[in-house]
Amino acid sequence: MQINAPDTAFMLVATALVLIMTPGLAFFYGGLVGRKNVVAIMMQSFVSLGISTVLWVTVGFSLCFGSDIGGIIGNPADFFLLTGIGAGDIYEGLGIPVYLFAAYQLMFAIITPALITGAFANRMTFKAYFTFLVGWQLLVYYPFVHMVWGGGWMADYGVLDFAGGIVVHAIAGIAALATVFFLGERRISEPEPHNIPFVALGTALLWFGWFGFNAGSALAVNEITTLAFINTQIGGAFAGVTWMILEWKLKQKPTLVGFCVGAVAGLATVTPAAGFVAPQGAMLIGILAGSIPYAAVAFRQRRNWDDALDVWGVHGIGGIVGILALGLLATKSMNPAGADGLLYGNSSFFVTELVGLLVGIAWAFIVTYALLWTINKVTPVRVSHDDEQAGLDNALHGETAYLDAE
């Protein structure tokens, strides 16, 4: 099979779009934290661009998309150091090179662990984060990529996840909750968000990149690409408006931060369903994404869980709602390669999605907590009281975002 030039060109653009989401996340989180911790939270996103790439080209691509071992993981020897791949090799009958598919999936591997960092803002040492970044991908992210997208047991069982409801958002959000429980509350309270324009810029970059995240997951230019594209915009917009209206009603004033957080929740929630549901379904998903995560954030606040930037409420609950909505609203009339959901008479598909989701929740929480416990035996996971009081920018990195934050 020859390389399909239009598909390849589109996927090159989609890959770049997903890449820009990680700097976008850095700005989004950087604006939400206080002035003394901007560099530290942004560093955690940017360093993933480097470390996750090194890990991916070494063993990650093999573990995710190598030949199946026990339905859980791929063979680490298949593409070790990207060997055994020719420049003209085509990925599994598609029109794009294997190298391009590997690069596209790499961008998902970069941003997924970076999502978790918002939960433990201001509290984790950089050495522990460095170790966590590697360990979490090996023990949580790579197995789920293989199980769902790489031919593992979830794929065989019939679990669908168009662009990362289980694989990205649910497991990252649940892992975030595990870090919150392990680390406990922040000792030092900072006024936040400190820079709302950063939050807006980060949201814009995330929203822009999400078209590559979702539409690119079609891996070609076709009718599913356009379906995922329009559903992405619908999900983000409907959720942002819903979140804003709820905030306006309950807190008397609509805020830019609220709209931005709601839009991100909608984009996350529609992700697993983007290529499997009708636009009308995406509208409902957007409304659910603007209301259920909003309620989850309020619940988290009442429980005093110190998820600093609401990763669990926005991404974890968003991913969960998205997968369940997929089980309800999927229709083969939109994507013949998908499935009919519960509302279209197929209750078994809903059960399949629920099983996959429950496995993801349990795995992500237990393994993440155990990983942090193990790391803490080797090097302290939590920063000292003095470092937290001084701010992690200067204490850990010797840099500050603002002169008056020193």
Torsion 269-242-333-226 (CA) sign: negative
3-state secondary structure of 162: coil
Q: Are 263 and 207 in contact (CB under 8 A)?
A: yes
Convert the pLDDT of each residue in 258-303 to its tens digit: 999 999 999 999 999 999 999 999 999 999 999 999 999 999 999 9
Q: What percent of the chain has pLDDT over 90?
A: 96
Question: DSSP class of residue 336?
Answer: T
Question: DSSP class of residue 90?
Answer: B
- Residue 194 has which token pair? 């400190």
- Residue 13 has which token pair? 């653009």
Q: Looking at residues 329-333, what average pLDDT do you find? A: 98
Give dist(CA 138, CA 73) in Å, integer.
Answer: 10
pLDDT band at 15 (very low <50, low <70, confident <90, very high): very high
pTM: 0.97
Q: Is the pLDDT of residue 404 over 80?
A: no
Q: Which CATH architecture has domain 5-380+387-401?
A: Orthogonal Bundle (1.10)
Q: Could you give the count of Cα atoms lying within 13 Å of 162 in the half-sphere of its Cβ?
A: 38
Burial class (CB in 10 A: 0-12, 13-18, 19+), 251: exposed
CB atoms within 10 A of CB 175: 31
Nearest alpha carbon to residue 266 among 285, 244, 246: 285
Q: Looking at residues 347-362, what average pLDDT do you find? A: 98
Q: What percent of the chain has pLDDT over 70?
A: 100
Query: Which amino acid makes up residue 46?
Result: F
Q: Looking at residues 104-129, what average pLDDT do you find? A: 98
Convert the pLDDT of each residue in 153-183 to its tens digit: 999 999 999 999 999 999 999 999 999 999 9
Give, in degrees to the nearest 5, the angle at Cα 108 between 104 and 112: 170
